[in-house]
Amino acid sequence: MYESVILRTVARVMMPLLLLLAAFMLLRGHNLPGGGFIGGLLASAAIIMQIIAFGPTFARKVIRVGYLNMAAFGVFFGAFWGLPALFFNLPYMDAFWINDPIPGIGKIGTPVLFDVGVFLAVIGVTTRVALLLAEEPELFPMYVQAETEELS
Amino acid sequence: MANHLFLPLVSLMIGAALAVLFGRQRWLARGIVVGSVLFHLVYSLRLLWVVAEHGRQVSQAGGWLAPFGITFVADGASAIMLAVASLLTLMTVLYSFASLDEGYERYFYYPLLLLLLLGVSGAFMTGDLFNLYVWFEVLLLASFGLITLGGTRAQLEGGLKYVVLNLFGSIAFLIGCGLVYGVVGTLNMAHIAERMQTIQQPGIMTAIACVFLFAFGSKAAILPLFFWLPTSYHTPPVAVTAIFSGLLTKVGAYSLYRLLGTVMQNELIHLAPWILTIAWLTMLVGVFGAMAQMNVRRILSFHIVSQIGYSVMGLGLASSLGLAAGLLFTAHVMIVKTALFFIGGAAEQIYGTGDIKKMGGLARREPALAIFWFLGIISLAGLPPMSGFFGKLALLQAGVTQGAWLVTSVATLTGILTLFSMLKIWNEVFWKKSYADVSKLPRVSPGLLLPGALLVIVSLALGLGASVLVDYTTVAGMQLFDQAGYIQSVCGLDGCEAVFQTAIR
């Protein structure tokens, strides 16, 4: 946690913007720069900014998600959408697309759904790692105590 | 086209993800884990049959043609390795049900096991050099988790050595990939093999082959690079050590077979005398190291090193005969080594220590355990009718046929020394009278005994039905050494260069 009015104000403003940008990146990603991985990193940046500005407890309270389950679900979801091709005797991961693009979202097909899986997995893993690092003093209080005693 | 080649990998990945999601419902998670490994086993047994019937199976991910996309190839060698790996993982899962406490389950032990098998199966089947690197990373990450799960001081110490030294191997692997891409401009194995035939400077390919020999050699624990293995393998729970001994070093050996045996054959023939020297030195140093040890799992760990020497000997003979014999031996030793770790681990669990001086009297107390241990060590030492006899016989025959007298005689000597060192465990743990009162010890549960016993029975069955196995590995060895056939099945009859040229035009 970092007590700074500037950082907290910026974090508050940036969170919805970053999440929107993440969704935008995710959806444009299949044929243009972007995609599930980059979108996921942007979304987790939004959450990690909350962790830095307001502390891990607050961040957990604002977005109540089990990040590990989210990552696992992402892996499942991504792996799953390669499977339909097998039923049509095509190689794994062969793509299916709908014919007409949905206005505002664009063309949807199995690669986009795969990207959603990657998106969830990346958010889950990076945020979980950041949370563990931020919560380390709370999870292992005795080490920190021993160290501060040594220092003083 | 065999589009089903991705199925075992997808089943493991989905299984791992679901097992994390449903981690709270213990029995459901266990069911998912067993289910996905069972699917993998059934699939790979069927693959054994399909490959024998129809030859190599090739699949291109997403339908991208060979030198561009990611290729999966299954030939005899990959099918055998895949089947053995999934059998061992299934047994390890069953053994873990009986031997591990719930804490491991809460920290994702079973999903990690699935990911380990995922990385191993990917490495067995991939036809792309960089993809091979990725699968290695998958299996290494899973193994880093498995070796430190539990977090005792000894585990963290062993885990640190394991991680650091494996990272050196990975870096060498990555450097090798970069060099290959710089020199021949492709990472598809078939395409590399094709372009290497027309390369102008032959010296650089020898250098690259040496980099890969270092990289895979450090994973496989050959002579100067084996020291990480005995210092780390006895620290995690028995089930983890057992599956590591069955899979990890063998993936390194298999990758050497695939890369030097199929892709860089000319370099293999250059390097063959050196590889044979490494092979007999590895055998001897491993077995002598085992003699000095007084801990069940440490002794077995040094024997892993010694057995890797035999696998490398099959490679060093640089012929389809040698590769076939090496494959036969590797498949046998994966099964038997894991079985011995299971049984030795069960004895260790009964006594609460792995120090063989403090153990004893188990032959009276647990006759079933003792019988299976005895059959296991006979198989490891290479006495008939177990599978070890035929594994070593094939290697020695190949060695004698090709006049590699030194390595052949050392291999024979190592067999005797192996028996000697295994009998040390037999005498101390099972035969001698115990100092303490044996009757107060806990009995071995069927869950601890059965996985090891089953694997020993498999070894016996493979020994009794050796002709089938020998025929299969002979074909697999020929497929492995058949570079032109490999290129044709991956890229079509005209080869990869033709596909490449048509595409860029």
pLDDT in tens, A63-87: 888 899 999 999 999 999 888 888 8
Overall average pLDDT of the B267-274 stretch: 91
Residue with the two structure tokens 């998600």: A65
Mean pLDDT of A17-30: 89
Question: Å from A62 to nearest chain B CA?
Answer: 22
On the question of pLDDT at A145 being above 60, the answer is: no
Residue A150 pLDDT > 60, yes or no? no
d(CA A41, CA A65): 16
| Domain containing residue B407 | 3-504
Question: Taking CB atoms and an 8 Å limit, are B10 and A92 in contact across chains?
Answer: yes
Angle of helix B387-401 versus helix B367-381 axis, rounded to 10: 10
pLDDT digits over B122-151, tens only?
999 999 999 999 999 999 999 999 998 887
Average pLDDT over residues B341-352: 88
* Whether the Cβ atoms of residue B119 and residue B87 lie closer than 8 Å to each other: no
Q: Which amino acid is at B7?
A: L
List pLDDT tens digits, range B196-223: 888 888 789 999 999 999 999 999 999 8
Q: How far away is chain A from the Cα of B150, in angstroms, using its nearest Cα?
A: 16
The pLDDT-based confidence of A146 (bands split at 50, 70, 90) is: low
Backbone angles phi, psi at B282, to 5 degrees: -60, -45
pLDDT tier at B503, thresholds 50, 70, 90: confident
User: CB A93 to CB B61 under 8 A?
Assistant: yes
A95 pLDDT above the threshold of 90 = no
pLDDT at residue B360 in the model: 80
Worst-scoring range by mean pLDDT, B330-334, B422-426, B455-459? B422-426
Average pLDDT value for chain A: 85
Contacts of B17 in chain A (CB under 8 A): 72-73, 75-76, 79
Question: Mean pLDDT throughout B327-334?
Answer: 95
The predicted pLDDT at position B104 comes to: 85
- Which token pair is B339? 């079985």
B10, B20, B62 member nearest A72 (Cβ): B20
Return the top range by mean pLDDT from A117-126, A133-142, B345-354, B376-385. Answer: A117-126
How many other CB atoms are there within 10 angstroms of residue B22's CB atom? 17
pTM above 0.95, yes or no: no
Higher confidence at residue A144 or residue B393?
B393
Contact B3 A90 (CB under 8 A): yes
Residue B284: C-alpha distances to residues A41, B291, B422, B452 (Å): 51, 11, 15, 27
**pLDDT surpassing 90 at residue B178:** yes
A80 and B CB contact within 8 Å: yes
A93: which chain B residues are within 8 Å (Cβ-Cβ)? 6, 61-62
φ/ψ of B131, rounded to 5, equals -60, -35
Q: Quick one: pLDDT at residue B390?
A: 93
Smallest CA-to-CA distance from B393 within B320, B466, B339, B338 is with: B466
CA-wise closest residue to B390 among B379, B399, B401: B379
Cα B254 from Cα B66, distance rounded (Å): 22
How would you classify residue A32: left for phi > 0, otherwise alpha for psi between -120 and 50, otherwise beta? beta
Taking one residue from A and the other from B, the number of pairs with CB-CB distance under 8 angstroms is 57
What was the pLDDT predicted at B51?
93
Would you call A140 an interface residue with chain B, using a CB distance cutoff of 8 Å? Answer: no
Q: Find the CB nearest A75 among B13, B60, B62.
A: B13
Six token digits for residue B114: 């699935």
CA B112, B117, B120, B123: dihedral to nearest 10 degrees? Answer: -100
CB-CB neighbours of B437 under 10 Å: 8
Q: Considering only CA atoms, which of B237, B239, B234, B246 is closest in space to residue B94?
A: B239
Note the helical H segments in B55-100. Answer: 76-99
Closest-CA residue of A relative to B107 is A68
Q: Does A73 touch chain B (CB under 8 A)?
A: yes
Overall domain count for chain B? 1
Average pLDDT for A96-117:
84
Q: What are phi and psi for residue B468, nearest 5 degrees?
A: -60, -50
Closest approach of B117 to chain A, Cα-based (Å): 16
Residue of B175, B164, B163 whose CA lies nearest to B133: B175
pLDDT band at B313 (very low <50, low <70, confident <90, very high): very high
Confidence of residue A149 (pLDDT cuts 50, 70, 90): low
Report the complex ipTM: 0.86
Do the Cβ atoms of A90 and B4 come within 8 Å? no
Cα–Cα distance for residue pair B482/B477, rounded to 1 Å: 8
| Helices within B402-438 (DSSP H only) | 405-425
Contacts of B21 in chain A (CB under 8 A): 69, 72-73, 76
- What is the chain B residue with the closest CA to A66? B21
Shortest CB distance from A75 goes to which of B1, B4, B17?
B17
How far apart are the C-alpha atoms of B422 and B296, rounded to whole Å?
10
Distance in angstroms (rounded) separating the CA atoms of residues B474 and B390: 13
Q: What is the pLDDT of residue B230?
A: 87
B96 pLDDT more than 70? yes
Averaged pLDDT score across all residues of chain B: 91
Domain that holds residue A129: 5-151
Mean predicted confidence (pLDDT) in B105-134: 93
Residue B18 forms contact with A (CB below 8 Å): yes
Predicted pLDDT at B374: 93
Nearest-angstrom CA–CA distance, A77 and B282: 45
Of A72, A89, A91, the CB nearest to B62: A91
Task: From chain A, pick out residues whose CB is under 8 angstroms from the CB of B61.
Answer: 91-93
CB-based contact B62 A86, cutoff 8 Å: no
CB-CB neighbors (< 8 A) of A85 in chain B: 3
* Mean of pLDDT values over B400-429: 91
Cis status of the peptide bond prior to B385, with omega within 30 of 0: yes
Q: Which of B357, B351, B392 is nearest to B369 (CA)?
A: B351
- The answer to whether residue A100 scores a pLDDT higher than 90 is no
Residue B376 has pLDDT above 90, yes or no: yes
**A97 in helix, strand or coil?**
strand
Residues of chain A with C-beta less than 8 angstroms from the C-beta of B60: 91
Residue with tokens 């570079």: B483
**Which of B3, B14, B62 lies at the smallest CB-CB distance from A86?**
B3
**Total number of domains in chain A:** 1
Strands (E), B50-134: 57-60, 71-74
Q: Percent of chain B, pLDDT > 70?
A: 100
| Residue A143 pLDDT exceeds 70 | no
Q: CB–CB of B67/B191 below 8 Å?
A: yes
Stretch A114-135: mean pLDDT: 92
pLDDT at residue A144 in the model: 52
3-state SS string for B182-247: HHHCCCEHHHHHHHHCCCCCHHHHHHHHHHHHHHHHHHHCCHHHCCHHHHHCCCCCHHHHHHHHHH
Q: Which residues of A are less than 8 Å from B16 in CB distance?
A: 72, 75
- Smallest CA–CA distance, residue A87 to chain B, in Å, is 10
Contacts of A129 in chain B (CB under 8 A): none
pLDDT of B436 strictly over 80: no
**A68, A73, A83, A92: best to mutate for the B interface, most B CBs within 10 A:** A92
CB contact A58 to B (< 8 Å): no
- Using a CB–CB cutoff of 8 Å, tell me whether B450 touches chain A: no
Minimal C-alpha gap between B98 and chain A (Å): 26
